[in-house]
Amino acid sequence: MTSVECIWPAQTILGEAPTWCPQENLLYWVDIEGKLILRINPQTGERKAFPQEQEFGCIVKRSKGGFIAGTNAGLAYVDADLTAVDVFSTPEAEHPRNRFNDGKCDRQGRFWVGSTDMDETEPNAALYRVSGAGEVACMIPGVIESNGLGWSPDDKTMYFTDSGHGVIYAFDFDADAGEIDNRREFVRVDMAESMPDGLTVDAEGFIWSAHWGGGRITRYDPHGRIDRVIPMPCPLVTSVTFGGDGLEQMFVTTARLGLSKDELEQAPLSGGLFVLDAGVAGLPDIAYQG
């Protein structure tokens, strides 16, 4: 059994989107419903939470300083102190019940970020690509709930999760052009049992997916076959990323949204941040080159 440690019992309502910054040895993550950005130094244990006016679905380091983020108000730049938020694009203004959800950068520094129908019923959300010049392009329409993203080590495949359809998709990826093609089902999850949420890709090209409602993380081989399952001590597992020295630690975010009093008594660490040794190194999180 893999040892799983809670390093911050933060009780986030909807903890999500962990991202590792190697220059600072810091992990950033968000509490969407709690309107917080959180930061921790896993080596020293130093923690800080930054209250926000918006709901942040994700936040990624920016090469020019500060961050780029997806929020319920639109796409935004955020200063290094996590206090000033500048919304620069609102591509889904016609859908007031949508907000931006998960997002991360490809190795060329383009920011890929998806939206979600907050009622999780209508396919009126999408996945977008933001270039270094700040140009926003819709890449995948007809999404219910955008979630985990990742790229294979050879940069030839992109993975994208639509939790609302219970599917992780794979695409052929043109790294130079930032284009995707040949959409196909990589993994379909039984929605009666759990939903695929955030994901990451390790250095061996295997895909790790968090299971909302499933209380576990699943590692899939590049053909979509289950390679390994790691049980978690709470049911709502939201996302995963690698960090720490050599990217050999896996950080896992969780939530407590909608859990009953009895469920919280059974899983009191729900909403906490966890770390585990996955036995494999990860791939680095990339800053937005803009």
Q: Is residue 281 part of a domain?
A: no
Give CA separation, 62 vs 93, 212, 218, 260, in Å: 24, 29, 30, 38
Is 51 a domain residue? Answer: yes
In a domain, 288, yes or no: no
Is the Cβ–Cβ distance between 284 and 150 less than 8 Å?
A: no
CA dihedral 7, 239, 29, 260 (to 10 degrees): -70
Answer yes or no: is pLDDT of 210 > 80.
yes
The C-alpha atoms of residue 134 and residue 206 are separated, in whole angstroms, by: 31
Provide the pLDDT confidence category of residue 121 given band limits of 50, 70 and 90: confident
CA 98, 100, 101, 103 dihedral sign is positive
Query: For residue 231, which of 243, 217, 252 has the smallest C-alpha distance?
Result: 217
Helix, strand or coil, per DSSP, at residue 90: coil
Q: Name the helix (H) or strand (E) containing 157.
A: strand 157-162
Distance CA 254, CA 218 (A): 15
Question: pLDDT tens-digit profile of 59-69?
Answer: 999 999 999 99
Averaged pLDDT for residues 145-156: 98
Number of domains in the chain: 1
pTM: 0.97
Mean pLDDT value of segment 57-85: 97
155-181 average pLDDT score: 98
Please tell me which residue in 162, 197, 202, 285 is annotated as part of the active site: 197
**Res 118: pLDDT:** 86
Instruction: For residues 242 and 245, give the distance between their C-alpha atoms in angstroms, rounded to a whole number.
Output: 10
- How do strand 179-188 and strand 136-143 relate by DSSP bridges? unpaired
For 253-264, the pLDDT digits (tens) are 999 999 999 999
* CB contact at 8 A, 162 and 146: yes
Residue 287, domain member (yes or no): no
User: Which pLDDT value is given to residue 69?
Assistant: 98
Q: Which amino acid is at 184?
A: R
Closest C-alpha to 139, from 110, 96, 99, 107: 110
Domain, as residue range, for 21: 4-276
Q: How confident is the model at residue 272 (pLDDT cuts 50, 70, 90)?
A: very high
CATH of the domain at 141: 2.120.10.30
282 falls within a domain: no
Query: What's residue 119's pLDDT?
Result: 84
Is 86 part of the annotated catalytic residue set? Answer: no
pLDDT above 80 (res 1): no
Report pLDDT for 122.
87
pLDDT of residue 5: 97
Does the residue 173 lie in any domain?
A: yes
Among 23-32, 113-122, 227-236, name the one with the lowest average pLDDT. Answer: 113-122
> Does 177 reside within a domain?
yes
- Residue 285 domain-assigned (yes or no): no
Share of the chain above pLDDT 90, in %: 96
Q: What is the distance between the alpha carbons of residues 26 and 48, in angstroms, rounded to a whole number? A: 11
